[in-house]
């Protein structure tokens, strides 16, 4: 794949979207900002993930794989608290689809 190739993201509900580094940067920034990190740092991490996917010739990747890459990137640069925030946000979002009894059992 060339640098201009489109990368598609397969969502949990199997919809497909184009990979948008700005969307990933926004998600990273929401986790990073409360911990004193800068927006340009989120932009750089999102760009690094995008570049990795391009160089690996990935034309399609799951949203879960991108999330894991974001966790690894945050941890790799020492932004552990931001990683934890992002992971907690995902867990809460995913848990909202579960029955309340299941969530209570997992949280206990």
Q: Does residue 4 surpass a pLDDT of 80? A: no
Domain ranges, ordered by start, for the chain: 8-107
Specify the pLDDT at position 83: 96
**pLDDT category of residue 92 using cuts at 50, 70 and 90:** confident
What digits encode the pLDDT tens for the residues 20-61? 999 999 999 999 999 999 999 999 999 999 999 999 998 999
Buried b (16+ CB within 10 A) or exposed e, 63-102: eeebeebbbebbeeeebeebbebbeeebeeeeeeeeeeee
């Amino acid at each position: 794949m060339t640098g201009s190739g489109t990368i598609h993201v397969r969502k949990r509900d199997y919809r497909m979207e184009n990979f948008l580094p700005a969307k990933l940067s926004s998600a990273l920034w929401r986790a990073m900002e409360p911990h004193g990190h800068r927006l340009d740092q989120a932009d750089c991490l999102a760009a690094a993930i995008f570049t990795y996917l391009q160089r690996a010739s990935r034309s399609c990747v799951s949203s879960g794989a991108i999330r894991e890459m974001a966790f690894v990137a945050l941890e790799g640069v020492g932004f552990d608290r931001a990683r934890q925030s992002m992971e907690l946000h995902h867990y809460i979002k995913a848990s909202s689809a579960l029955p309340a009894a299941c969530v209570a059992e997992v949280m206990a």
